[in-house]
Amino acid sequence: MCQARSFSSRITSVEIFLGHIFLALTLLLHSSIQATTSISHVYVVYLGANRLKNAALASNHHLHLLSKVFTSIEDAEQSMLYSYNNGFSGFSAKLNASQATSLAKLDQVITVFKSKSLKLHTTRSWDFLGLAVDNARRTPPPQLAYGSDIVVGIFDTGIWPESESFREPPEAKPIPSSWNGECVGGEEFGASVHCNRKLIGARFYLRGFEETYGPIDFTRDPEYRSPRDYLGHGTHTASTAVGSVVCNVSGFSGLGRGTARGGAPLARLAVFKTCWGKDLEGVCTEADILAAFDDAIHDGVHVISASFGYSPPLSPFFESSADIGAFHAVERGISVVFSGGNDGPDPGVVQNVAPWAVSVAASTVDRSFPTRIVIDGSFTLTGQSLISQEITGTLALATTYFNGGVCKWENWLKKLANETIILCFSTLGPVQFIEEAQAAAIRANALALIFAASPTKQLAEEVDMISTVRVDILHGTRIRNYLARSPIVPMVKIGPSKTVIGETTAPSVAYFSSRGPSSLLPDILKPDITAPGIGILAAWPPKTPPTLLPGDHRSVEWNFQSGTSMSCPHVAGVMALLQSAHPDWSPAAIRSAIMTTAYTRDTSYDLILSGGSLKSTDPFDIGAGHLNPLKAMDPGLVYNTKTEDYVLFMCNIGYTDQQIKSMVLHPEPSTTCLPSHSYRTNADFNYPSITIPSLRFTRTIKRTVSNVGPNKNTVYFVDIIRPMGVEVAIWPRILVFSKCQQEHTYYVTFKPTEISSGRYVFGEIMWTDGLHRVRSPLVVFLSNVGFVASH
């Protein structure tokens, strides 16, 4: 009995102990759930188009909605960051998850999403594009004839207003009467001092950033609480898009000397500082970005250039501030261009893929910086660099200073490489980025670096922290083998670099440029276009070192930068010229003119090469092709986009009639998901390119073009390059126009002629009247194995 009771008591003790554990876990889980719901984040609440003419009424309406999830108006006011009440309707606020969920259930609300953080995508280029300013033509080039009536908005890290690139030209006309914007002062930025008839607007947005990351730590991240730029990225992109003409400028070490100017040097500049330094990297929050879009629409900009984004997975279109802001800007006649991202060369990683905006890839120009490497006075090779003075030192393999010869910071063998030039290979390790090898060489106290990598990466893109010559693997191997055979330590002389124009085949697509297809909407080809984005020389803040790195004490007023961040403002500048030359054109017409006049062959008349490989490009690399500003001025035909196209698109991605009517600025009786839409896909969106995301059987899509050429009476004939394994038929094959702005619709039928389990094939359609060549790329995903088997 005692044993039995003892056993029973032990069971009871165990039960009590387990009960305590269960209670503790329950309390912990409950507190965890409470903590999850009570943790606040910045959310964006999107309500659609703004139909309240009064901004104060709209703000009151937003506060009323927000107060539904707070116990008092005061708490709601304290929570709100921005009320978006100009170009569209919505607000951003600090909310917990349950509050956000409650707001999302309200009928008036279209989407609620957490404010994400986006990252920045970071002279000769305009000559390469055909927009030279120092030619001998009697008529002024387009960039000196158009643009003074156009305002370009740059969403970036701000501006260095003292740069010559933003000075007010003596012949500057009065500020356009349509301008409603402001010049907001702040730290080291005076509105009356720094704004002029060139820089006509400047704003900054910090609430979303500081609510997300806390107050800026100025000891760690140098910044200005004003539109003034520290990171340099915004100054560079603004200078590229609309910078004034400045003669005899060059980058660090005097390279790239020439005349600097933006694509539209007469255009006005409005700066919207949405991005801030965090660990010396530009970070932009969606709450701030949407506030900038709202103001830009109100202020009266004509073009918006934004060089930021985030890597896939991509958010749905109306759960993205950039896509929402761009949609409402385009509805009001404002062209919007984004950088496509720097995640290449893998496919499917392109960013900013909304069909109402333009997404830009990056490519090279025909300028290079050859740098001689002379070993022991007789063995000579040539690489690429930005070196201003000759460097002489001993040559050594990386194995002498780094474990396994892998040039990484953590692999240093604690041996100093004084007066030594180290040879590093990207293939060992591998060393994915040249900056890794540079940091390692600096740690070893090397004199300079020879970096051997893929032949598609041998471009002097930016100023280096340590003198670096880029060579391909072949040249790197020859140097390595010479070192291995040499009985003594070789001596090497490097540089100085030279500026050479016209001897390099260009363009080629940058290896880092993000490729299609779109991971969010494969029905629409992205990127749309490619433009110069390698080694672009533009204005720079002299208080910011050219590399941004600690320990770099150099000062420059012009700097080389690379990225789709640099190609994006090239397109923005051309958009400004087109808008000025054709004030009646819509953003869709401007996009169409840029895309249908693009070219796909380089200066050797061969197909443009794809960096990151040795193959020719396809539309996923370059979109419609390379930017061609002069041809875009007179495209002949354009593909316009109407409300019904956007309605079709939104129906197909799952929005209801009521939501669509809330989003569209001017809803029509046809603004509804009619049954007729059920058989039309987004391939029918009236886009300048044509993409069939899955061709299993015969399909027909339609396109509509408008005559914007100089001749009202004109006839266009069609030529087709068929994708492999696909039969393409067009009806009608002739388009006869008898007046300007006349529209004609044509139909394209695709029929698979080969069986495929899934591959992309490419072709093109070309309409020509003898003067104009209106080209549309064809992208077809041929996938008909299962269909053929079942039929």
Residues marked as catalytic: 156, 233, 565
Query: If you ran DSSP here, which 8-state letter would residue 257 be given?
Result: -
Q: Cα dist. 327→322, 412, 486, 513, 668 in Å?
A: 8, 51, 64, 24, 17
Start-end of H helices in 524-678 = 564-581, 587-596, 619-622, 629-632, 643-652, 657-663
CA pair distance 153, 733, nearest whole angstrom: 41
Whether the Cβ atoms of residue 449 and residue 438 lie closer than 8 Å to each other: yes
CA pair distance 525, 521, nearest whole angstrom: 8
The DSSP annotation for 463-501 comes to --SS-EEEEEHHHHHHHHHHHHH-SSPPEEEE-----EE
CA pair distance 659, 664, nearest whole angstrom: 9
Cα Rg, the chain, nearest whole Å: 29
| Residue with token string 């949407």 | 290
CA end-to-end span of the chain: 80
For residues 493, 494, 498, 504, the Cα torsion angle rounded to the nearest 10 degrees is 120
Whether the Cβ atoms of residue 96 and residue 302 lie closer than 8 Å to each other: no
- Overall size of the chain counted in residues: 791
Which sign, positive or negative, has the C-alpha torsion 624, 629, 631, 633? positive
Q: Cα dist. 511→405, 457, 569 in Å?
A: 25, 7, 19
Burial class (CB in 10 A: 0-12, 13-18, 19+), 609: buried
Residue 146: how many other CB atoms lie within 10 Å: 21
| Residue with token string 């059987």 | 697
Q: Cα dist. 341→192, 275, 353, 562 in Å?
A: 36, 16, 11, 12
Give the 3-state secondary structure of residue 113.
Answer: strand
Sheet with 743-752: strands ordered across: 637-638, 699-707, 743-752, 726-731
The DSSP annotation for 562-580 comes to -SHHHHHHHHHHHHHHHHH
